[in-house]
Amino acid sequence: MIVQLNDVIKRYQQKRLALDHLDFDVNKGEVVGLLGPNGAGKTTAIKTIVGLEDIDEGSVKIFGQTHNGKNQAVKKRIGLVTQELTIYEDLSAYENLLFFGKLYGLRGDALKKRIEEVSKLIGLEERIHDKPSRYSGGMKRRLNIGCALLHEPELIIMDEPTVGIDPQSRNYILEFVKTLAKDSDTAIIYTSHYIEEVEAIADRIFIIDEGHIIAKGTLDDLIAKIKGDHHTMISVDIPSKKTLETFKAMDDVKDASLKDSTYHIVTLPGVNVLDAFLKTLGDTKILQVYDKQPNLEDVFLMLTGKRLRDGEVT
Ligand SMILES: Nc1ncnc2c1ncn2[C@@H]1O[C@H](COP(=O)(O)OP(=O)(O)OP(=O)(O)O)[C@@H](O)[C@H]1O
Ligand SMILES: [Mg+2]
């Protein structure tokens, strides 16, 4: 086991719990997705793993050793890509890599060779002598990732590495994580509030909400939790809140929501409610009716009663 957090409690300034009996684990070579809305405790969990924050109760074990943040040998085996950029804008990308490489004890030809490898990995070899101030947001993110990879860590932690960047860079980073995962024993923790990213890259997923893991498992495990639920989508030309409330109040309806002009109605398996839905809609013009396969978003919705989409909880 690479990471093992047991029953971890963390309070900031004796106030609300940021981590509330958190259990979390990562095995060798695994990509673990940590999915949760803003303020769920993702960054705090990561800070406790790398020893940047002390915990109030519970235990944190990294590489089988109890970790308190002071163990430099443990720190050298971890590569942390922070949520905030930590690169120097007035040094070239190359100089940034040189600086971080030295920080991790690399020197001379070994460092130069490693910088070449990493530049390729992050797809910046042609722009490596430019200053990041001339980079796009996505390129800066990639450099930020590169700086954490130089010392070939056994555990790479990426805290929301795709927030606020262009789709092309986002895909690049996702593909890059997949490649890294395939070719090595490196374990990766990837936090995000983008469900589709976690679905695409994680071997196992932990869903965190209010400092607590509310579900964990493979994507299939998680979706199996809500299998059986039936999802009906009805697109109309003019939706109404009142109709939505009527759907919600129906006996067989577990949940109903409205996005743009499509109602999403979750019902128990085996009950025929379409007729009742259509009656409720009355004269409203129906554009489309279809069934939907449940996804991770529906798992989250069922577990928390909240919607998690692009960081918005509604
Ligand atoms: N330094 C701090 N002092 C006080 N409270 C904090 C501090 N850092 C985080 N918190 C609180 O702890 C909780 C968890 O925050 P955290 O940053 O871990 O969430 P997150 O899941 O990383 O959110 P985001 O998706 O916005 O990055 C929040 O309620 C936050 O306000
Ligand atoms: Mg965070």
Give the list of residues 6+ apart from residue 190 with CB closer than 8 angstroms, or none.
Answer: 31, 32, 33, 34, 158, 161, 177, 197, 198, 201, 202
Beta carbons within 10 angstroms of residue 110's beta carbon: 10
Spatial contact of 10 and 55, defined as CB atoms under 8 Å apart = yes
Q: What is the pLDDT of residue 311?
A: 43
Spatial contact of 91 and 110, defined as CB atoms under 8 Å apart = no
Residue nearest to atom 11 of ligand 1 (CA): 18
User: Which of 105, 39, 44, 43 lies closest to 72 in space, CA to CA?
Assistant: 105
Q: What is the pLDDT of residue 20?
A: 94
Strands (E), 134-175: 155-159
Q: Could you confirm whether domain 3-223 is CATH 3.40.47.10?
A: no
Phi-psi map region of 228: left, alpha, beta (phi>0 left; psi -120 to 50 alpha): left
Kindly list the distances between the CA atom of residue 281 and the CA atoms of 240, 258, 277, in Å, as whole numbers in the listed order.
Answer: 9, 14, 6
Residue nearest to atom 28 of ligand 1 (CA): 39
- Using the mean position of ligand 2's atoms as its centre, give its distance from the Cα of residue 141 in Å: 15
What's the pLDDT band for 127 if we cut at 50, 70, 90?
A: very high
Query: What are the boundaries of each domain within the chain?
Result: 3-223, 228-293
User: Can 3-223 and 228-293 be said to share one CATH topology?
Assistant: no
Q: Is the CB of 44 under 6 A from ligand 1?
A: yes
pLDDT tens figures, 241-278: 999 999 999 998 988 999 889 999 999 877 888 889 99
Spatial contact of 58 and 44, defined as CB atoms under 8 Å apart = no
- Using the mean position of ligand 2's atoms as its centre, give its distance from the Cα of residue 285 in Å: 43
Q: Is the CB of 43 under 6 A from ligand 1?
A: yes
- The rounded percent of the chain whose pLDDT value lies above 90 is 61
Residue 69 CA to residue 108 CA, distance in Å, equals 28
pLDDT tens figures, 277-298: 999 999 999 999 998 877 778 7
- SS3 string, 181-222, reads HHHCCCEEEEEECCHHHHHHHCCEEEEEECCEEEEEECHHHH
Q: Is the CB of 161 under 6 A from ligand 1?
A: no
Q: Is the CB of 239 under 6 A from ligand 1?
A: no
Q: Could you confirm whether domain 228-293 is CATH 3.30.70.100?
A: yes
What's the pLDDT band for 182 if we cut at 50, 70, 90?
A: confident
The closest-lying atom of ligand 1 relative to the alpha carbon of residue 211 is 14
pTM: 0.81
Q: Is the CB of 312 under 6 A from ligand 1?
A: no
Amino acid identity, position 120? K
Residue 58 CA to residue 142 CA, distance in Å, equals 34
Amino acid identity, position 188? I
pLDDT tens figures, 128-162: 999 999 998 899 999 999 999 999 999 999 999 98
User: Residue 64, exposed/middle/buried by CB under 10 A (0-12, 13-18, 19+)?
Assistant: exposed
- Using the mean position of ligand 1's atoms as its centre, give its distance from the Cα of residue 18 in Å: 7
pLDDT tens figures, 203-243: 999 999 999 999 999 988 888 777 778 889 999 999 999 99
Residue 314 CA to residue 306 CA, distance in Å, equals 6
Using most ligand atoms within 8 A of CB, pick from 13, 44, 159, 207 the residue to mutate for ligand 1.
Answer: 44
Residue nearest to atom 5 of ligand 1 (CA): 12
Element (H, E) at 99: helix 93-103
What's the pLDDT band for 308 if we cut at 50, 70, 90?
A: low
pLDDT tens figures, 17-72: 999 999 999 999 999 999 988 889 999 999 999 988 999 999 999 998 887 767 77
Tokens representing 4 are 């093992």
